[in-house]
Structure formats: C-alpha cells, structure tokens
Amino acid sequence: MADSQNNAAVLTRLPQYYRILRRFLQQGIYRCSSEEIAAQTDCSPTAVRSDLRRFSGCAKQGYGYHVKQLYTALGNYLGVLDEFRAVLVGDGAAAQVICQHPLIAVHGIRLCGVFSQTCPAPLPASQTVTGTLAELGAFCRENGVSLLLLTEPIPVHVLDEAIAGGVKGIWNLSEEKLEARDGVLIREVHPFDTLISLCCALKQGEA
C-alpha cells in the first residue's frame, strides 16, 4: 500500500546506500546530507532524497540524515538484519572469497555450509559445515536454509532436493542459467559483464 515508489531502479540503489552508510559509520560520520551520499554514487541528490523518502523518520529538514538510524532502517527494510541462513555450492576458493565479504563475515547472511561434488576442505576459523552435493538437500531441511549461493552449476535433481528442503532464493553466480520455478526467487549475477563493458569503453576513445 502506497509503496508506489517500490520500483526496480530504486531497489538497485538501496544496497548501494547501505554500503555507503556503513563506510560513513566506520569513518565516524554520524550525519550526512543527500548531497554527500550522492557524491559516493552515480546519482543526483534529488534521486537520493526521492529514494530515501520512505525512511523520512531518519531525516530532518535543515539537518540531513541520521546515519546510524538510516543504516539500521535500511538494513531492516532490506531484510539484511534477518540473518537468513545460506549454503554455498562451490569449491574452496570461491567459499573463501565469499566468506570474507562483510555481509557474511560481519552480519546479514549466515553461511552454514559449503557443498561441492567432492567435499571442500573445511574453512579456516569457521563453524561452517562442508559436504558433498548428495548431502545438500537434507542439510537444508535440517538447518532452515533459505538461500542457496551458487558459484558453479549443480545437477537439476540436487537443486530440486535443495528446494524441497526449503530453499526460497537462489543467488546464481555461475554461467549456467537456471530456469524459473514457482515460489523460488532467482538472481542471475554476472560481475564479468561489467569487465566486458570496461573493455569496450577502453577500446572506444580512451576517456
């Protein structure tokens, strides 16, 4: 209701703001204006204000935004404070990289397990379980896992088991496209696409 501004474009920017606010907090900045946020992004101050309108409880006219309040409100809105349980399908290197991210290392997502065709080596200093794909479905069910992070393709029947085990969202970093399924949200993620567009820009007149 009245969430008319809940469009796709806004939803790509809210996580950016979240990141920027976290940096502000780390730097001891507790108050900021839409202009200061905009300077860290590609958007205009007007766009920032328009996006953050729904969090107007964290702002005062003439003063700006209360960073801590806004960070919390945003985190709450984005579901990041819910500590969703996740499982990674991928090899040890991918797991190590992903574990380092603040969203997992600090808070937001709780990475409960890492699974692969052959069981990955245990992660250093972590209580994350490792196992083979055959164990994935049961593990999801027993541990209330709702998120699946894919860095490599998995067989369809393994995916079916995970979904049967309660997985509701899939973050797919692999090259293989997943087909849509009822009741399951899928995000195909392709970071290398931006590297290609960088090459393109580099090739066309250097600037």
Closest by alpha carbon to 131, among 87, 197, 84, 164?
87
Question: Judged by CB, which is closer to DNA: 30, or 101?
Answer: 30
Q: Which of 97, 121, 138, 156 binds its own copies (CB under 8 A)?
A: 97
Question: Judged by CB, which is closer to its own copies: 59, or 94?
Answer: 94
Give, for 39, the enclosing helix (H) or strand (E).
helix 34-39
Q: SS3 of 6, please? A: coil
Contact status: 47 vs its own copies (CB under 8 A): no
x/- mask, its own copies, residues 140-179, rule CB under 8 A, reads ------xx-x-x----------------xx-x-x-x-x--
Residue 138 touches which of DNA, its own copies, none (Cβ within 5-8 Å per kind): none
Closest by alpha carbon to 26, among 106, 85, 90?
106
Contact status: 2 vs DNA (CB under 7 A): no
Residue 78 touches which of its own copies, DNA, none (Cβ within 5-8 Å per kind): its own copies
Closest separation between CB of residue 9 and its own copies, Å?
11
Contact status: 20 vs DNA (CB under 7 A): no
DSSP structural state of residue 118 = S
Q: Which of 14, 40, 41, 49 binds DNA (CB under 7 A)?
A: 49
Helix%, strand%, coil% for the chain, nearest 5: 45, 20, 35
Please state the length of the chain.
207
Residues 130 and 115: beta-carbon distance below 8 Å: yes
DSSP structural state of residue 181 = B
Cα–Cα distance between 89 and 190 in angstroms, integer?
A: 16
Binders of its own copies: how many residues, by CB under 8 A?
A: 56
Residue 9 touches which of DNA, its own copies, none (Cβ within 5-8 Å per kind): DNA
Residues 186 and 178: beta-carbon distance below 8 Å: yes
What phi-psi label fits residue 157: left (phi over 0), alpha (psi between -120 and 50 degrees) or beta?
A: alpha
Question: Judged by CB, which is closer to its own copies: 134, or 198?
Answer: 198
Contact status: 52 vs DNA (CB under 7 A): yes
Which positions lie near DNA, rule CB under 7 A? Answer: 7-10, 32-35, 43-47, 49-50, 52-53, 56, 59-65
